[in-house]
Amino acid sequence: MLKALTQNQRTSASHMARQRSLVASKCMTKDTKIAACFVALALALAACSSSATPPEASVSAAAVEPEAVEAETAESTPAEPETAEPESVESATTDPSENETESVEFETTEPEATESESLREGGFGGSPGPSGAKVEMPDRPADNSITYATRDDQALLYRLSGDRNPLHSDPAFADMAGFPKPILHGLCTYGFTGRALLDGVCGGDPATFGRMDARFSSPVFPGESLTIDIWTEGEKTLFQTTASPDNRTVVAGGTFTRR
């Protein structure tokens, strides 16, 4: 009995020892875990504090970075070649007088217009200007003379040609030009002369009418008669036209060629 009691006491004592060790181990485990958490937290804080950069250092680094970029840009950009400064305008430009060529003025003397020439040119008082080579008419009576009478309204009819110059229709305008009344169109005077050559030289056959050349020497007034004088000089035909009643030459130095 005493053995059994002793055995029970031993069993209960070992059981209690186990319980205590288990409790102790649990307590130690709990404490160890708490301590480990504190250690991990301390290590994390230490790591954060060591990796963080002070504000002043970051600002200075940020301030230095643009300068470094500028330095790198300056090194990478090639230097521009130096250009020579332009010379002053005074030294670059030459004296204008050096390039000027001497101009030679030629004085031309124009013959003074006579009273008849002034009237021929409409009363403006100047020189009649240059003209072609003069063709002299033979010093003998004409081989053929043909006369046509113009109408008083001849100039008004010739306005149908498209020449509506008031010099041929308006007495006031003609007076300003130095004429006593409106003058006949030159085209009309030339047409009467050509008609005479067609009849007197070509026998009315337009197929043989070649070329006529002449110059106007005086205006014609509507209502005057025109006389065309024709000379045959070998193969040449010469002509001129005069106006009555004063028998003045209105178409001079005429030459005609047949076909």
| Single pTM value for the model | 0.51
Please list the active-site residues: 163, 168
Asked if 231 and 239 count as a contact pair (C-beta separation under 8 A), the reply is: yes
In the CATH scheme, what architecture does the domain 142-155+185-258 have? Roll (3.10)
Please compute Rg for the chain using Cα positions.
Answer: 65
Which residue type is seen at 46? Answer: A
Mean pLDDT over 78-98 rounds to 49
Mean pLDDT over 166-193 rounds to 96
Does the structure show a pLDDT above 50 at 104?
Answer: no
Mean pLDDT over 58-73 rounds to 46
Above pLDDT 90, what percent of the chain? 47
Q: What is the pLDDT of residue 37?
A: 61
| Cα–Cα distance for residue pair 10/189, rounded to 1 Å | 174
239 Cβ partners below 8 Å, 6+ apart? Answer: 193, 196, 197, 212, 214, 228, 229, 230, 231, 251, 254, 255, 256
**Looking at 114-118, 161-165, 200-204, 210-214, which range is the least confident one?**
114-118
